[in-house]
Amino acid sequence: MSKFYITTPIYYANAEPHIGHAYTTIACDVLARYNRLKGKEVFFLTGVDEHGENIQKVAEEKGISPQDYCDQILPTFISLWEKLNISHNFFIRTTSDLHKKGVAEFLTRLHQSGDIYKGKYEGFYCRRCERFFTEKELADDNHCPIHKLPVDLVQEDNYFFALSKYEDRLITHIEANPKFILPEARRNEIMGVLKSGLKDISISRSSVEWGIPLPFDSSQNIYVWVEALCNYITALDYYEHGDLYREFWPANVHMMAKEIIRFHVIIWPAMLMAVEHPLPERIFAHGWMTKDGEKISKTTGNVIDIDGLIDDFGLDPFRYFFMREFSFGSDGDYTQERFETRYNADLANDLGNLLNRTLGLLGKNFETLPVPTKAGEFDAEIEEMAVQLVDQVDRLMESIAFDTALETIFEYIRRINRYIQQTEVWSLKDDLERMGTILYHAMEGLRVVSVLLLPFMPEISVRIFQQLGLGDSSQNLDSINKWGGLPSGLPIHKPSPLFPKKDAPPKKETAKDPEPVNESNLITIDKVKETDLRVCQIVGAETVEDADRLLKLRVDLGREQRQVIAGIAQSYEPEDLIGKQVVLVANLRSAKIRGLESQGMLLAAVSKKKLSLITLDKSIPNGAKVQ
């Protein structure tokens, strides 16, 4: 049987889980369930990272030991995964003996490779994310670029890993394996980092007490990030090199948020190369989430209420929304209005109504599911679309394009709804043979859809199976590869609403009505054509000294690169812009801004204090003309 191994990152146990943890874990659960539908043996790993300075600090503040603190916080993760119906196979704790033994084994092998040496470390350290930064990477005033907190200049005698030795091998591997890093924007970002040169990294700490000792020098503890990365193999009983490790390594997918991708695509593969272990197949870094256009923060109360949404709308609609609403590799903005609109439009109107009206018509006119004996217009299209749908969704799921896969499924649902309307099936009481054929097609289409939706909405899919008359019978992708798998003669069930309709969301405040057009200001199409708008990709971004509104950008126009000074620093972090395709006014005269040359201007929408760059909804070659 084919194997599939997928991992979440292990989540840092210094606080209770939030929407970011839920987002990543649901995505992994969807892939795990989908691959089980394909008949694969799946190992789905998640867990918690329990070591490091932050854990020690929180425990001290609470007046308890770090281990006691970890034991207390653990149930909040377990209970959330249960609430979200996460189907993981194993939950790893970095305080477990299984992990500690595996880490010691891996670090011993790494030491034996000859790529570990002792030296003096000096660098800028953020205690919040337990990560070192170069001076160039820091934000203004020597602040962490992620948390905006002051960093400490740290000096220690540590052990180092010869990361720089693997720079060329990493570049070669990434170039030879285009799907190793996804999405493409993250791949481009990492290639830029690698081509700028790597430095050796410190892998131990003498000043951090709460951790796992180095197996070859117990006076130092292993750097928490190095130890944490090992969980992907320690959970497979790496220490014993047992059956799980032999069967499931290398991982098919490591999934995480984009802020931790560098550890996973640079440090982790380099260490695996050093000990001659195979590398994971794919590493996918998804985007961040905002709420109502603002960064999510507990201090401002701007959080997404997971419990409240599930209580009000149900678990599966919650899962569906977060996989459908956002392009998975990009950042996304949550609003309550979007959630309610998606619930009512997709789930209640499209899917729920289709099931209700089909079962309702069947119940009024038939005792059992009829045999489809009288073919007519549109039948063949419904059948062919179903077969094509299975292949289309499979390709999209392999690309981890959840939103597009779901949109493709719902396009088919909407097509069946139009089929019901086009055939006016409710008016065919004098032609029950034709009516029965149409309703059979709707029911079989619903069976296909419910199987494809099972990874996203497992509870709803089972309820649809039951209402179709299939009970709890197991369904898989093989069962929908051919049309006609729904047996005629099944008893007709009364429809039970899947998605109770919710009140329409309040109308969103919009911009004030524009002033009447002053016709004396109208321009001709020729005037518009004078502006040369081009697609470009942001390949570099950094702050401008003493200018809190400006960013210095490097953009790729295909045949050339340019420098652009843009007043967007209060709306975007530099690292969030890397890889974005935007629109440049390419024939604007160069200008000096704060002494820096700006060779163009980016297009953006502005409303009150909010600014949003004009971006593309699909990839297009850099330099393409916008018209």
Known catalytic residues are: 18, 21, 126, 129, 144, 147, 295, 298
How far is 408 from 414, CA to CA, in rounded Å?
10
Residue 346 DSSP symbol: I
Q: Round to whole Å and give the CA distance between 219 and 536.
A: 51
Q: How far apart are CA 320 and CA 326, in angstroms?
A: 11
Mapping DSSP to helix (H, G, I), strand (E, B) and coil, where does residue 154 land? strand
Q: What letter represents residue 467's amino acid?
A: Q
Q: How far apart are CA 367 and CA 338, in angstroms?
A: 40
Residues 600 and 565: beta-carbon distance below 8 Å: no
Place of tokens 């394009």: 401
Distance of CA 494 to the CA centre of its chain: 38
- Angle at alpha carbon of residue 535, lines to 613 and 401, rounded to 5°: 75
Instruction: Check if the beta carbon of residue 405 is closer than 8 Å to that of residue 449.
Output: no
Question: Would you report the helix, strand and coil content of the chain in percent, each value rounded to 5?
Answer: 45, 20, 35
Determine phi and psi for 206, rounding to 5 degrees: -90, -15
Cα–Cα distances (Å) from 474 to 36, 202, 383, 478, 513, in that order, read: 11, 51, 22, 11, 55
> Using H for helix, E for strand and C for coil, what is the string for 225-253?
HHHHHCHHHHCCCHHHCCHHHHHHCCCCE
Q: Which residue type occupies 99?
A: H
Q: List, in sequence order, the alpha helices (H) in 48-89.
A: 53-62, 66-83
**Of residues 97, 71, 20, 558, the one with CA closest to residue 260:** 20
The DSSP-derived string for 366-377 is: -SBPPP-----T
Structure tokens belonging to residue 574: 């530099």
Grouping H, G, I as helix, E, B as strand and the rest as coil, residue 268 is helix
CA atoms of 3 and 8, how far apart (whole Å): 17
Q: Are 540 and 547 in contact (CB under 8 A)?
A: no
Token code pair at residue 373: 């004996």
Task: Quickly tell me which residue has 């149930």 as its tokens.
Answer: 75
**363 SS3 class:** helix
593 membership: H or E segment, kind and range: strand 591-593
Could you count the other beta carbons within 10 Å of the beta carbon of residue 180? 19
- Tell me how far apart the alpha carbons of residues 208 and 54 are, in angstroms, rounded to a whole number: 10
Task: Residue 342: count other Cβ atoms within 10 Å of its Cβ.
Answer: 17
